[in-house]
Amino acid sequence: MTFSIHRRRLSAAASIVSIAAAAASLSACGDDAPGHHSASGDVHCDYSTTPSQAKPGTTVPSGGPATEDVTLTLETNRGEIPIELHADKAPCTVATITHLAQEGYYDNTICHRLTTSGLFVLQCGDPTGTGSGNPGFKFADEWPVGESSKGNLYHAGTVAMANSGPNTNGSQFFINYEDSPLQPDYTIFGEATGNGLDVVRAIAEKGTVDDIPSGPPAESVEIIKARVN
């Protein structure tokens, strides 16, 4: 069985849906956005605008790709979730997530979706809390998208971008609290460290509202502040 995770499109229905007792979708908005490695190996991060913006005043990153790993700590009402961001694998994604965190984009937002069957993820990063919000821009996929799947890439602890198709990354991401059998369609940019995975698992143990396989966490999860160390 093949599973998928997509971020909700601007006019789409739920971004994570249950199929045959274990399918879900995390989706993000937009058309293809360019971004590439040049022949010399240099990385270029290119952004294109989207029709809407979840948090007015959000700016497009301008500092180029990340060159060093950094730690993003999600200070939530359920505990801190430290995430090591991997610049070597996803330099543009790390640069974007870092930029958004430093602008306060993720502060006082909720993790709006939890999946508990087939896929095991907590989805965050949308200030609207609906699954359709984006920062007003999109950018291209990075590792391991477009590569042959080798084993379980989305293992417990990995953090990846939600999307609505190729090259539609924005701000939404998901944390795998158990191994999730996904195709390599979602940019992996980090891993929960320290007690972060335990915090997410404790959230998952409470289940979802109405006990459905995919929906809001039973106990609301709020990112009070996203801190870059």
In this prediction, residues 188-212 reach a mean pLDDT of 98
Domain segments of the chain as ranges: 70-228
| pTM assigned to the model | 0.86
Higher pLDDT, 2 or 137: 137
Count the neighbouring beta carbons within 10 Å of the beta carbon of residue 101.
22
3.30.2130.10, 3.40.50.1820, 2.40.100.10, 3.40.50.10150: CATH of 70-228: 2.40.100.10
DSSP 8: P
Amino acid at 145: V
pLDDT in tens, 101-144: 999 999 999 999 999 999 999 999 999 999 999 999 999 999 99
Count the neighbouring beta carbons within 10 Å of the beta carbon of residue 110.
19
Length of the chain: 229
Q: What's the CA gap between 220 and 111, in Å, rounded?
A: 8
87 phi-psi bin (left φ>0, alpha ψ -120 to 50, beta other): alpha
Closest Cα partner for 45 from 27, 67, 72, 29? 67
pLDDT in tens, 61-70: 998 999 999 9
